[in-house]
Amino acid sequence: MAFGRLDKKPNSQPMADINMTPLIDVMLVLLVTFIITAPLFTHAIRLDLPKVLSMPARETPQTITLSIDDSGGLFWNDAPVSFEQMQARFVDAGRAQQKPELHLRASRGTRYDVIARVMAAAQRAGVEKIGFVTEPGGDAAR
């Protein structure tokens, strides 16, 4: 910002204009920085998450065990169901006084989109507690 003038006239006033050049320079530097770094934020980072042993989940009468096999077949408490039947059962479970817990057992080869559709159907129906069931003491190298 410049506040004075070089000429020394008796009636000269200080310059009250804001010098925009430094502001524009800083903004251009920030713009170029963000243009260069923005593509770096979109790349996924491959992580090998730690394998830990956990306590087994307690089974209650309100627990729903939903199993999904490699081909996307659904099994509600070990009984085969279609996707529409599962949605209807989720709606019934969501209306219950005491909300049940959903224990989701998916095989290793299950496609993610099937799991995501099941979780979305449960959430829409009001089943809020969802847990993923794994095999205890599995090989950590897998």
Reported as type and span, the H/E element at residue 102 is strand 101-106
CA angle 21, 23, 25 (to 5 degrees): 70
Each domain of the chain, given as residue ranges in start order, spans 63-132
- Tens digit of each residue's pLDDT (9 = 90 or more) over 25-63: 999 999 999 888 887 776 554 544 445 566 665 656 678
- Tens digit of each residue's pLDDT (9 = 90 or more) over 117-142: 999 998 888 888 888 877 665 554 44
Beta bridge pairs of residue 68:
74, 106
Tell me which residue of 112, 75, 73 sits closest to 120, measured CA to CA. 112
Tell me, what's the pLDDT at 49? Answer: 43
What topology does CATH give the domain 63-132? Nucleotidyltransferase; domain 5 (3.30.420)
Are the C-beta atoms of 68 and 104 separated by less than 8 Å? yes
Are the C-beta atoms of 89 and 81 separated by less than 8 Å? yes
- Tens digit of each residue's pLDDT (9 = 90 or more) over 61-108: 678 888 888 888 888 888 888 989 989 988 888 888 788 888 888 877
Tell me which residue of 116, 99, 110 sits closest to 64, measured CA to CA. 99
Q: What does DSSP assign to residue 10? A: T
